[in-house]
Structure 1
């Protein structure tokens, strides 16, 4: 095959333009029937069974993944496997979405009558709205694609993009209708940085650290030893009742050296160089909120406190380690 490298950028732009235009046209297909489809799925006590063949099957798998992660139970059934035993996956309280560009493939023509016999709602996600699948379906999601993005009009590109976009529109519409929250999303995504952003709290992190603390009357030597031994670049300053009165950071030490000469250092105490009423965070706050505060204030640590009682420290390195940054 001869390699032709001309017009690469132009080709790429034309593909994106063709697909974006097809999605724009699909907006006109969002009508009362789309709303009926959402209502039908909401009212079912079963699952959304998504089926298709070829590239449509791959799109179907992605739609199933999106539905499951946003609160709508779903499963994937390959159309060819369905007519060889997998129809047993379907229960009487399910809803089926059948994806096909033409709506006239042999597998679809065999499968559709079998699906109709179950009596469950059949939704066609199809490009050709006058196809066999469209006529037989109870509802039609119009994924019209006049032309594929490749010059031969053969490769499923525009049609699969529109089908995928409509699947997203359906999943998000169901999400909104269910009142799905970020906490619900976190339950389905406990792993990875995405899950951690949604469920990881300050209380999950700070207990791993020692709590550097000095009294207001501590000497500078004691302050430096405490900060060095606990390795957080800061120490809390607490009174005899354990109440937080200030914080001393590496920056406070550097500013101290600029302000005082060596003779004065021996007479300084923690209360002389601390930052009073330091910024704190509640243990029950989300770790992402701690990150936001650090970024906005250009700081690297926060004291974790409850009712002005020191519970611990949370450091920017903790959030880096958890993959939140």
Structure 2
């Protein structure tokens, strides 16, 4: 590939991913509202989990939920089979990400959550999957088939799932009336902390 081809390829990737994220607009429905309400009313922690790339998305989602006023933690699905699932309590909500709803570690974690009396929200393309059937709320979202290289390398689909999580985070921020002053108390460091200080918020 020469320089022009490399630039063109990069632009095509960005355009394809942007187009993929926009397909979410037609996939936000009443189940999204149900999930947001459940998370708003959660009396425990929100635990977010997936496997592989989905766990990277889960970690990001948990961080941003906390930034937006919804206490959340990432929970490694693999480690949960070696004792970490002991963190789950009855008042918690587990958000479980699995594209096909068949990831063994995620299903195992969801089963523990249900046995403990916690609620499970699945984010998956397959509501009829084992994970979907285990869950209290199923958020069916599907990225375009061609958004990932070979249909398997989760580049565009992970961005797609991140955007969906962002929508959930910001909706919850608005539902809580979570102010910039409240946010400032949890983020006093770095460039953000300096900006808040300059605005006399800290």
Q: TM-score, normalized by length of structure 2?
A: 0.90
Give CA-to-partner distance per residue, 1:248-276, whole Å, 9 cap, x none.
xxxxxxxxxxxxxxxxxxxxxxxxxxxxx
Q: 1:188 aligns with which of 149, 170, 186?
A: 186
Kept after mapping to 2: 8 A contact 1:97/1:122: yes
Q: Let me know the Cα RMSD of the aligned residues.
A: 1.9
Kept after mapping to 1: 8 A contact 2:85/2:109: no
Counterpart of 1:143 in structure 2 is 141
Question: Residue 56 of structure 1: CA displacement?
Answer: 0.6
Q: Distance in 2 between matches of 1:91 and 1:38?
A: 20
Kept after mapping to 2: 8 A contact 1:15/1:150: no
Residue 60 of structure 2 corresponds to residue 62 of structure 1: yes
Gaps of 5+ in 2: none
Question: Residue 196 of structure 1: CA displacement?
Answer: 2.4
Q: Distance in 1 between matches of 2:144 and 2:23?
A: 10
Kept after mapping to 2: 8 A contact 1:14/1:149: no
Q: Distance in 1 between matches of 2:25 and 2:141?
A: 10
Q: Distance in 1 between matches of 2:161 and 2:64?
A: 13
Give CA-to-partner distance per residue, 1:114-147, whole Å, 9 cap, x none.
2221222111112333322223211122331132
Matches within 5 A, 1:234-253: none
Matches within 5 A, 1:241-320: 286=200
Gaps of 5+ in 1: 202-285, 288-325
Residue aligned with 2:143, SS? coil
Residue aligned with 2:94, SS? strand
Give CA-to-partner distance per residue, 1:55-94, whole Å, 9 cap, x none.
1111111111111111110111111111211111111111
Q: Distance in 1 between matches of 2:100 and 2:116?
A: 23
Q: Distance in 2 between matches of 1:116 and 1:129?
A: 17
Question: Residue 11 of structure 1: CA displacement?
Answer: 2.0
Counterpart of 2:89 in structure 1 is 91
Higher Cα Rg, which structure: 1
Structure 1 or 2: more helix by fraction = 2
Give CA-to-partner distance per residue, 1:153-196, whole Å, 9 cap, x none.
22111221111111111110110000011111111111123222
Counterpart of 2:33 in structure 1 is 35
Residue 177 of structure 2 corresponds to residue 179 of structure 1: yes
Structure 1 or 2: more strand by fraction = 1
- Residues 152 and 34 of structure 1: CA distance in aligned 2, closer, same or farther (over 3 Å): same
Structure with more relative contact order (C-alpha pairs < 8 Å, separation 6 or more): 2
Q: Distance in 2 between matches of 1:152 and 1:5?
A: 23
Kept after mapping to 1: 8 A contact 2:49/2:106: no
- Residues 21 and 132 of structure 1: CA distance in aligned 2, closer, same or farther (over 3 Å): farther
Q: Distance in 1 between matches of 2:123 and 2:173?
A: 19
Q: Distance in 1 between matches of 2:7 and 2:140?
A: 31
